[in-house]
Amino acid sequence: MKKLLLTLAALSMAAAPASAATSTYVSGSVGLGLATNTEKTFLGATVKDMYAYKTGVPFVGAVGIKSDAYRLEAALGYQVNDVDKAKLDLFHPVSLPGNKVSMWTYMANAYYDIDLDKSSASPYVTVGLGGASLKPAISGESSTTKSVFAWQAGAGVALKASDVVVSDLGYRYLKPLSVKTGGEELSFGFHNLLAGVRYCF
């Protein structure tokens, strides 16, 4: 999956029209990762808010190309969210210290940058498709890493610091498909607030 996404990104870059408005870039971002409470389905019964999480720290690196108002990129991300509470008896949440969910993501993202006249700020919207490899290291759950399809959507604002350096503040909602293991199903979702820097060539 990772090789496929990187190949698609490379082909997109190669197919982009050569013009003065076209540039390539690398970027890095870090921020706050807020995981939604996990639902657990077992034997046809669904328990809402089975696991609640503490705030994590997502890291994202990307390579991409910008042409006029559009950007395409291949991105690799990683984050860990510690488990805060769990309904082990299905009714009363208890603390689970040392338990966590870790995740690698590999995404192909598209952006639309909104140019504001006489302003260094440029709002944008973004969507992405790819995959996520999740490992729930939680007592009583399978700790096997599972790779599933994932999508994301978000918005933010880019601030031009120089001709080649752009800072970035943004929000992403990241949604992997449910993880199925051992006859059960776990659902995940992530609200990520990211701050980053983009270096253009």
Interval 88-132: pLDDT, tens: 776 678 898 899 999 999 999 999 999 898 889 999 999 999 999
pLDDT at 90 (0 to 100) = 63
Give the 3-state secondary structure percentages of the chain, helix then strand then coil, rounded to 5. Answer: 5, 65, 25
pLDDT at 99 (0 to 100) = 94
pTM of full prediction above 0.95: no
Q: Confidence band (pLDDT; 50, 70, 90) for 142? A: confident
Name residues whose C-beta falls within 8 Å of residue 44's C-beta, 6 or more positions apart in sequence. none
61: helix, strand or coil: strand
21: helix, strand or coil: coil
Nearest CA among 201, 179, 194, 165 for reference residue 75: 194
12 neighbors 24 (Cβ within 8 angstroms): no
Higher pLDDT, residue 5 or 89: 89
- β-partners of residue 126 are 111, 154
- CA-based R_g, the chain, Å: 19
Within 21-180, residue ranges assigned H as helices are none
